[in-house]
A and B are shown apart, each in its own frame.
Chain A
Amino acid sequence: MELLCCEVDPVRRAVPDANLLYDDRVLQNLLTIEERYLPQCSYFKCVQKDIQPYMRRMVATWMLEVCEEQKCEEEVFPLAMNYLDRFLAGVPTPKTHLQLLGAVCMFLASKLKETIPLTAEKLCIYTDNSIKPQELLEWELVVLGKLKWNLAAVTPHDFIEHILRKLPQPNEKLSLIRKHAQTFIALCATDFKFAMYPPSMIATGSVGAAICGLQQDEDVSSLTGDALVDLLAKITNTDVDCLKACQEQIEVVLLNSLQQLRQDQGDGAKSEDELDQASTPTDVRDIDL
């Protein structure tokens, strides 16, 4: 007996919905509501006593690794970081609970965005079994309550298609630009500097940085420099100077992370497949700045 599985990819995707993408009201509404989902304060200064900025980076890096290994949808990681930041902006948390919180946030974001969500058991394995699935589920309720069940936060990814379709790029270049922009968005989510920036600005800055970066190797854009920034700023109604500054910051963060990566490679301790698994740094390496 032979069984033949004809499924090409178990995840079926809907075709892009013209009603959502080609209607400016959608973009305008996203711009209107996005700031409601930002964390309310810089919590390292006022709320948290135990947690330091470098710890947020540690947990964020770990979450990104898990999301990549599990091949999560792109939005899952930034969304989970949004939950984490919003929770930490209100609830003082000891550092030993931070990884549990990160796992809970991934759990929630994955359930909201994915057809096959991450399981509690799997997430616990990723914490090296330092937490139990039962604890994850209990804390899920706490996080939900503290977030007032407002989970459908606006993320930078919500803006990418709206921005890309208004750029005068040849279609064949778009997928590369999109991929790089998504990488930048993930990079921004790991850095607390960007936690209180409106998602539209991060999205616009990421697209700008992606085009600028790619432009050096090949001709991906008919628009460059100031003309490009002006157009991008107009699309998301962002101030030009703010956008420029945001794009520069993204480039700085990218450079830092590249240096970090080279250092890690220099150490020689990291195995080759470890680097392969972290697809984001691999992408980042492809960009020559």
Chain B
Amino acid sequence: MSDVYLRSVLAMERLVARRTYPLFARTSACRSLFGPVDHEELSRELQIRLAELSAEDQRRWDYNFQQDMPLRGPGRLQWTEVDSDSVPAFYRETVQVGRCRLLLAPRPRPDGAADSPPPGPPADEPLDGLGEAPASPSSGPAVAPTPAPAVAPQENAEQEAVPPPRSQEPLAEPLHSGISGRPAPGTAATAAAATAAAATTAAAGGAAIKKLPGPLISDFFAKRKRSAPEAKASNEVPAGCTAPGGAPAVGSAEQTPRKRLR
């Protein structure tokens, strides 16, 4: 009945090669290289690797992603709860209903959190990120723990000295370095004002479309604490080859061939 012409041989070849055309001849490339795969072992290994990644995320953000709660202990980051009204709508939780995206109203704080807000940093410490994050979108979402932009230079130096912890991939924290390098004048003052504002708006709350149990990540905002030496110690990966299972070798003793050195 119908004749379909394909004008070019090339087109045909590609269609045959891809799944778009229901032809797949088994070729010599279809082969198992290293014998049968033990699927149970593979699945165990998968769980180990996924757990590693999840632990890595938890350590990096001081946040328990399974329970959606910030970690309590003194870590690298200190999470501070802010009212979701104080952040741009873009960072607030939404629900998708058909083609519409509805903004979720802020949920009421859990009792404990309302009674005793997370301890504020000492007065002499600039409340850097806090004042900035809600104001300028470029400083990152309020839900993300922004490493303090205006921290003392000593900390910046430390951040450079310690390679991105636990990461073989050097690009892991370019975002951070970019932010921490940026000068943030007068943040302390604005931050103080912002805290006050946040405190009042938090009390106001809002009409909730839907109540969800427990706090969500968007209810929290973390700032980097100044005291990081112990975090630094715990983050350190043994240099080079002895990196334990999965922990990639950072700063391997081996010299990578570079353009100038073979």
A residues at B contact (CB < 8 Å): 1-11, 35-38, 40-42, 45-47, 55, 58-59, 62, 65-66, 69-71, 86, 89-92, 94-100, 116, 119, 121-122, 125-128, 130-132, 135, 138-139, 141-142, 145-148, 150, 196-198, 200-201, 237-239, 241-242, 245, 274, 277
Q: How far is the CB of A117 from chain B (nearest CB, A)?
A: 9
Q: Contacts A142-B50, A242-B260: A5 and B254 contacting too (C-beta < 8 A)? A: no
A-B contact count (CB 8 A): 198
B18 and A70 within 8 A (CB): yes
Which of A1, A2, A9, A46 is B254 in contact with, Cβ under 8 Å?
A: A46
B residues at A contact (CB < 8 Å): 1-8, 10-11, 13-15, 17-20, 24, 26-39, 41-43, 45-46, 49-50, 53, 56, 167-172, 240-243, 245-250, 252, 254, 256-262
Which of A8, A40, A130, A238 is B259 in contact with, Cβ under 8 Å?
A: A238
B contact patch SS: loop
A40 and B14 within 8 A (CB): no
Q: Contacts A97-B45, A130-B36, A141-B50: A36 and B243 contacting too (C-beta < 8 A)? A: no
Task: Give 9 A-B contacts (CB < 8 Å), ordered by A residue.
Answer: A8-B7, A9-B11, A46-B252, A66-B29, A71-B14, A90-B249, A96-B38, A127-B32, A130-B36
- Residue on B nearest A238 in the bound complex, by CB: B259
Q: Contacts A8-B8, A89-B168, A198-B258: A47 and B241 contacting too (C-beta < 8 A)? A: yes
A71 cross-chain contacts in B, Cβ below 8 A: 13-14, 17-18
A10 and B259 within 8 A (CB): no
Report the separation of the CA atoms of residues A37 and B17 in the bound assembly, to the nearest whole angstrom. Answer: 31
Q: How far is the CB of B253 from chain A (nearest CB, A)?
A: 8
B28 cross-chain contacts in A, Cβ below 8 A: 65, 274, 277
Report the separation of the CA atoms of residues A156 and B1 in the bound assembly, to the nearest whole angstrom. Answer: 50
Which of A5, A40, A95 is B250 in contact with, Cβ under 8 Å?
A: A40
A196 cross-chain contacts in B, Cβ below 8 A: 256-257
